[in-house]
Amino acid sequence: MSTLVLITGTGRSGTSTMSGTFDHLGLHVPGPYLGANKSNPKGFFESKWAVQCLQQITSGSGINDFDSRPEAFALAQGAVTDDLRAELREFLARESADHDQVVVKDPRSVWAQQVWREAAADAGLEIVYISMLRHPAEVVGSRTTYYAKSAGESERRSYETFNVARWVNSSIVSERETRGQRRAFVSYVDLLTDWRPVLAGLADDLGLTYDVDVAGGEASSVDEFIDPGLRRHEVTWDDLEVPEPLRSIAQAVWDDLLSLQAGHGVDAAASADLDGQAERYRALFTMAADVSHDAVETERRRLRELSEKSRVGKQAAQAASPKPARKAPPGRARRPTVEELPVGQVGGRDLLKVIAGCARRTLSRR
């Protein structure tokens, strides 16, 4: 039976490195990919098709790719259509026709784990999950460097806080939605430090095969692909300004995920604690929303006023602009006005108009 390897986890946690490693080991990673950039010089190894498919869910439900709201998962499910399910089935059937191991990497898949599972089953594939682990402080430090480097102090503090919240929510959802499935948790630091034991462990836990003898030390292009220098942000909580209650929850979630990694994807106590952390996080989020009520309402009112001013301004501009002359339909000559007609072609009531027009033209020539 063919296998679908779905690489999930939060952004900036090493998902691209994991996907690229599989590509170098002979597994099928469908392209075309998103292009490399400064934030990811080795490339994303992320299928453009998968990105566009999953963006239908995030845009259709009005959530962020890595949303912090506890209700984001439920909102995402409302955007999953029958057409999207059919597209997923067709994509997987097409990509697995000539390949027995297909790899799809996209952190947005956190909102659609079951959707992928059902599509894989319909296409005749067994699904296995890989969740990449990187400490939330490092994840947020990396995101801040590339996406909020020029922000002021208050904006940077806000960015760090809501991105830790996004990491917490996404991590909780991903673990819950893959619980009971065949899965593995992989440390990004371990992968960069010595990739061979990591990949050998994945072969054992998930039943994967490679085109080189990883455990035996056979030479592989992965040796050149993986660069320990890719870990450019060794950030700790001391480097971030994150409220202590949120930091406490994030650290507890991180500790539970490490327990799941050590347990090869299974640790009942860690999973139970993650459910408890989810309730703590929901309570904290609700309190923060309640406390910020006035600030949120003020911002909504300001945006409504700006929208109304923009609408009125457009209407005024349209009213002030001269209306373009009406053009005759293609292939038809413009119909002359009454004044332009020869006197012999005009009947009774319009005759005076024609005569007046002729008189004006005569006077203008003199």
pLDDT digits (tens, 9 = 90+) for 191-239: 999 999 999 999 999 999 999 999 998 999 999 999 776 655 678 999 9
Residue 105 near residue 7, CB atoms below 8 Å: yes
More confident residue, 126 or 31: 126
> Which segment of 140-149, 292-301, 327-336, 337-346 scores lowest on mean pLDDT?
337-346
Per-residue model confidence (pLDDT) at position 46: 81
Residue among 4, 208, 31 nearest 115 (CA): 4
Per-residue model confidence (pLDDT) at position 320: 82
Residue 107 near residue 15, CB atoms below 8 Å: yes
Give me the chain's average pLDDT, please: 86
pTM as predicted: 0.80
Residue 180 CB neighbour total at 10 angstroms:
10
**Confidence class of residue 361 from pLDDT cuts 50, 70 and 90?**
low
Task: Quickly count helices (H) and strands (E) in the chain.
Answer: 14, 4
Sign of CA dihedral 256, 167, 68, 252: positive
Tokens of 137: 């402080």
